[in-house]
Structure 1
Amino acid sequence: MTQPEPASSPARHPEFAPDTIVVETGRPQRVDGASVNPPIDLSSTFVSAGDISNSPYAYARFDTPAWTPFEVALGQLEHASLPGLVFGSGLAAISAVISLVPAGGTLIIPTHSYQGALASAEQIAGRQNFDLVTVDIADTEAVIAALDEAGQSTSGRVPAEGAAASAGAAEGRTASATAPGMLWIESPTNPMLEVADVPALTAAAKDRGFLVSVDNTFATPLLQTPLDLGADIVVHSVTKYLAGHSDVVLGAVVTSSTGLREELHTERSMRGGIAGPFEVWLALRGLRTLAVRLDRAQANAQAIAERLAAHPAVVETRYPGLPNDPGHARAAAQMNGFGAIISFTAESADKATAIAEAVRLWTPATSLGGVESLIERRRRHPSEPVTVPEGLIRLSVGIENLDDLWADLEAALA
């Protein structure tokens, strides 16, 4: 099937800043009488009398114009040469990417990854017979050692090594089959907010022939563009910051490799992990305000993190924007901001639960990235890694008035 023509957009001009691109990208052609916004296309099937491979659209499980504007927009924001691929959920996108790890290969993934990613990786590894290795993603030497060990264990199976494998990965469909495995990066991690040295790790992984995938949900493409840092694939839970209003469940994958995109497109089509037209339209509408939402939420998060770090009831505060945070220097070097997620630790699980139950303005709920501020004790989830402290609370800081947010949280801490 031919690649659908993207919507016209002045955002392709390199002189535009990212906060302009989020507003302008993925819009219809500028002709008299045209809509300013793309319409919601609800058709499940399309006219295609000839060779179906030459039709941009034929059946909505494969592609639909309902997805194209959002996919074009995300591809542009992530500095990809191709449109993204929208999925029915973040976990569907994650699982599709993890499924690229070949049998006999190795997936190296952060110990403190999103719990859904860890659970999916374990299940897929069992089915596809590849090794699963967890690492402290902030320990660059430990990650490189894991890459070396994994590469040695698969060297007899993999015909291409080092730069040759990386070249093969860039060229086409056999990219995942010829790689010895995949390095999965979350940075900052969920919920510990560890920051990986993304350029160093991607370079080390590519030198050894590994594919590199980065979950960019926390940072968003406004704060970090992993493809520019050497990654092969970028993953998003669109549910979070991109859509931004806690009203859709979606995921997305972005790559500049035609071969990898084809593999991921096939995985989406054959497994049926597709998105509804209305949800994708809502996500594109939410994307328009990403820059202003993130600016406000980040400013709130910075101030709240500073106040938490000085509060006597808080054992530890993790936020890359704090100068004494272990990930501060790396985040400052490779990101355009520090995000709006804070983790802090209370003295016990009971104390953390009491704090989450005592708030009136903050909403005790899972998920993140919406306009409203959320609070959650993470170890209440049985699948959360045991290395996450029992008293750890994750905050998704929203766009409400800063003083109101702090007054509510301070009262709960007391």
Structure 2
Amino acid sequence: MSDDIAPRTAALSHLRRSKLKKGDPVALPLTMASMFHLPGAPEGFAQYGRFSNGTWEAVEDMLAHLEDAPVLGFPSGMAAVAAAFFAVLKAGDKILLPSDGYYTTRVLSERFLTRLGVTYDLRPTATFLDGGFEGYRLVFIETPANPGLDLCDIEAVVDAAHAAGAIVVADNTTMTPLGQRPLDLGADIVVASDTKAPNGHSDVLFGHVASRDREIMAAVSDWRKLAGGIPGPFEAWQVHRGLETLDVRFQRMCDTAEFLAEKLGKRDDLTALRYPGLAGDPSHNLARAQMLRFGFLIGMTLENETKAEAFIDGCELLQPATSFGGVHSSAERRARWGDAVAPGFVRLSVGCEPAGQLWRAIETSLDAAKR
């Protein structure tokens, strides 16, 4: 853990303390209300459930503490992405997206932004700097890219994009603020799906937008209030609970992923292996420079679809499921969603199981899939 982030994680579960009065509950109360007692002038008080909620605000405080920036919560990661887009874009703007990032961002742009006169181009994450950024209003990066785990140099992209007059939005879902800090590297906006590791229990959808630019956050806030893309109080309460253990879980997950990647790198039945923490990974040097940890995602490619599915289904400590970041390790063959990966590519999300037991289960299933 970086010395810079450790004080933030230490204070995270104590943020409520300064606001507590004697006899108040230590655990965050759940505020389930659409209406609030509001006689007289409404300014300065809770007014209506679409405008504010005490439970959301507690979660936003925690995320803002981690991001070191103002934060607004949303009902999913894609709601956060959409809010960032619709708050800052207008007809005639052009945006640049990663061709190998989370596919739904591209689908949103194709199906809805183009109808409103916003055009987009695609570029691979590994060569994202190639071609420059002239003419773009917004440059959207995702590093490590999901699912292939290629990286781009955040600072270099930010410098070049800003010189061309573009805003940089970074999707930091795969890393969380504990593993990578795009705002510190100059990005204008961070978006993330807190459905993943921040919540960590695979039982809620949530997302957030963070920015140190007041005008951007004011626009995102207006979009949320007027469009109604608000998080539910109970979902916010669940994420608050998850964030209190993020540091412990994230460290365990990253430590185990590093252990597993080294083991997997010695096998001869994988046709490819991607993990930024491996010395031989194409992105390793860049990962060392801009990431605090190497993450908990591993990309492993088996010979074909049949062997990949047999490995996933046969491993007793892997949950076959989409999404990632839970306390349980999970895996899926991403080609089934149309990602541009080999048929045998498996995205492995490392959870919190004991590393030795998890490796033995993975090894046993890989051995069985070879036969």
| Shorter-chain TM band | over 0.9
The answer to whether the aligner puts 1:354 opposite 2:319 as a matched pair is no
Partner letter of residue 355 of structure 1? F
1:396 aligned residue: 349
- How far residue 15 of structure 1 moved from its aligned partner, in angstroms, is 9.7
1:282 aligned residue: 238
**What does 1:3-402 correspond to in 2, within 5 Å?**
17-27=7-17, 29-52=19-42, 54-80=43-69, 82=70, 84-99=71-86, 100-142=88-130, 145-148=131-134, 151=135, 180-381=136-337, 384-385=338-339, 387-402=340-355
Change (3 A) 1:200 1:273: same
| Unpaired runs of at least 5, structure 1 | 1-13, 152-179
Change (3 A) 1:335 1:56: farther
Change (3 A) 1:252 1:228: same
Kept after mapping to 1: 8 A contact 2:89/2:118: yes
Indicate the larger mover: 117-126 or 14-23: 14-23
Q: State the identity as a percent.
A: 37
Which whole-Å CA distance do the structure 2 matches of 1:15 and 1:370 have between them?
22
Partner letter of residue 98 of structure 1? F
Change (3 A) 1:26 1:218: farther
Partner letter of residue 84 of structure 2? V
Kept after mapping to 2: 8 A contact 1:98/1:124: no
Kept after mapping to 2: 8 A contact 1:27/1:69: no
Indicate the larger mover: 31-40 or 65-74: 31-40
- How far residue 57 of structure 1 moved from its aligned partner, in angstroms, is 2.2
Which whole-Å CA distance do the structure 1 matches of 2:309 and 2:89 have between them?
38
Change (3 A) 1:21 1:236: farther
Kept after mapping to 2: 8 A contact 1:366/1:376: yes
SS at match of 1:92: helix
Kept after mapping to 1: 8 A contact 2:327/2:352: yes
Which whole-Å CA distance do the structure 2 matches of 1:147 and 1:21 have between them?
39
Q: What TM-score comes out, normalization by structure 1 length?
A: 0.84
The Cα offsets for residues 273-331 of structure 1, whole Å up to 9 and x where unpaired, read as 21111110110111011111011111110111111111111011100100111111111
SS at match of 1:205: helix
Aligned length: 363
Which whole-Å CA distance do the structure 2 matches of 1:292 and 1:15 have between them?
13
Partner letter of residue 14 of structure 2? E
- How far residue 48 of structure 1 moved from its aligned partner, in angstroms, is 3.5
SS at match of 1:376: strand
Kept after mapping to 2: 8 A contact 1:22/1:290: no
Which whole-Å CA distance do the structure 2 matches of 1:259 and 1:365 have between them?
39
Kept after mapping to 1: 8 A contact 2:132/2:160: no
Change (3 A) 1:15 1:114: closer
Kept after mapping to 2: 8 A contact 1:112/1:190: yes
Partner letter of residue 9 of structure 2? D
Change (3 A) 1:48 1:261: farther
Partner letter of residue 185 of structure 2? L
Change (3 A) 1:15 1:201: closer
Which whole-Å CA distance do the structure 1 matches of 2:7 and 2:51 have between them?
32
Kept after mapping to 1: 8 A contact 2:98/2:128: no
SS at match of 1:21: helix
Q: What TM-score comes out, normalization by structure 2 length?
A: 0.93
Which whole-Å CA distance do the structure 1 matches of 2:96 and 2:119 have between them?
8
Change (3 A) 1:51 1:326: farther
- How far residue 21 of structure 1 moved from its aligned partner, in angstroms, is 3.0
Kept after mapping to 2: 8 A contact 1:361/1:405: yes
- How far residue 343 of structure 1 moved from its aligned partner, in angstroms, is 0.6
Change (3 A) 1:33 1:355: same
Change (3 A) 1:141 1:15: closer
SS at match of 1:229: coil
Kept after mapping to 1: 8 A contact 2:143/2:151: yes
Kept after mapping to 2: 8 A contact 1:235/1:252: yes
Change (3 A) 1:216 1:25: farther
- How far residue 146 of structure 1 moved from its aligned partner, in angstroms, is 4.4
Kept after mapping to 1: 8 A contact 2:38/2:45: no
Change (3 A) 1:356 1:280: same
